[in-house]
Structure 1
Amino acid sequence: MFLLVVDAHSKWPEVIPMRSTTAANTIRVLRCLFSRYGLPHEVVSDNGPQFVAEDFAVFLKKNGIKHIKSAVKHPASNGEVERFVQTFKKAMKKAKPDGGDVHLKLARFLLSYRTTPHVVIQETPSKMFMGRDLRTRLSQVRPDLGLKLQQKRALKKDRVRSFEVGERVRVLDFRIHSERWSEGMVTRVLGPVTYQVVVDGIRWKRHVDQIRRMSQCVDSRAEPLRQTVPNTDIYNDRDTITRALTDEDIPNTHTHLIHLRKYLRPKTKVTQNNSNTQSKTSVVQNVTSVNQIVF
């Protein structure tokens, strides 16, 4: 005799050989199952004498389990287990010519059933019940790509550097006439590899490859690992570049403007009879156009 138990959600089966099906033995087996998997909300059973006994009802009531009994002479009321009974009988009948121990046949059947996708849920009972597929001999032949991907991600995650909020760091500086690396402070963590750093009162968004620790020796001429993240505070950087475009900072300003006239085509045309004031106005207009090209 066997006691068959099926989880309604995951279709996970349990088959327990029993010498007798008294209420005491049934309670003993269920107590063992509840110690492994926890107490269920409901138990659905047929109207067997062990399930309608008073001891069984008291056992379920003390554990806060609702007991639902199927209709008399209507097996379809407990169709989940009844269908599994038919599957179990066919499997054991098919394995009968093989000989051997009943426990061995039972173990093979349970492993096969638990690792086979169910027709209703389209997943294996082990995946639904335990959150993973059980390892079988077929798993040794089929490569586990998911496991390799997890290991690769874990190794990559360990190599990623991290910084704390309030930590003093050196960040890559894109401003003109500035040091390659400037000192700043991490003020916010924007993502796994992205940080917000404040430098001279300006908030920048930097990738972890563009940040160095203060204790780390930084060569001002060294290139970063990657330069894929621009500054978030565009307006501050634009003001800086606008201030840099002056006659003192950029040599041969007029030479640059002569080359740009072919493309800009300013409305105010410079002639030989123009006064110095008109020439200065053209220079200012062209400098403004240079700033627009830069951005």
Structure 2
Amino acid sequence: MAYVTTPEGLEIFYKDWGPRDAQVIFFHHGWPLSADDWDAQLLFFVAEGYRVVAHDRRGHGRSSQVWDGHDMDHYADDVAAVVKHLGVEGAFHVGHSTGGGEVIHYMARHPEDKVPKAAIIAAVPPLMVQTDSNPGGLPKSVFDDLQAQLKVNRAQFYQDIPAGPFYGYNRPGAKADQGVILNWWRQGMMGGAQAHYDGIVAFSQTDFTESLKKVTVPVLVMHGDDDQIVPYDNSGPLSAKLLAKGTLKTYKGYPHGMPTTHADVINQDLLAFFRS
């Protein structure tokens, strides 16, 4: 198993597949998952000749289950440690959900890495929580409730999310994939409760507005209009407007977990974007 030791002494797990001399795509997973959530993308892009890298965020998956540092600054710096260790500066970066915020913040915080292109999928920027300046956000009570459910029974909570809104399996006529649900539960339970608890604050209360403004390279913003986790109207369209070279691609009826439920479409769209 491959790990990077950060300057803080944390062990960050990563996957690194494909030819050493190929163009690299670096994948950033969502809360509370792991690099395993990118299986469909990693296998696809390796077959297309790319080198792919994906890590487990601190406190998630196989990385160190530390109790602190669960914020976007630390997340971005941990990514920088992986990038430096592997020598993969200049990679394309792809982030889903919380990982989309991580991509944007990494690019803004570490401009020394000249990332040529990026894609964010069903991502949390610009800001999820409702504030006076963000009236379209979700009330803070929504996220407080998520933390409360995690504290009471994390195992059941991690069953209910994928079985319901994450993949849209709660929609009329939807056919739930039990393997997908169990895999989500497995990944979630691998991580640390403290990291996941604090991560709810990180993904919901971080304002990415200034980070988005600092990103000047092409970014593909991919979002489903039936996203029940990160509502479409207050996320994808707003991020695309704040980015200097943002392109919004809207997916009719797609759920939050669309990299899994619609991997065939998402993979082809990413491939076309990176080859353009």
Whichever of the two has the greater Rg, that structure is: 1
Q: What TM-score bracket applies, with the shorter chain setting the length?
A: under 0.3
TM-score, length-scaled by structure 2? 0.22
TM-score, length-scaled by structure 1? 0.21
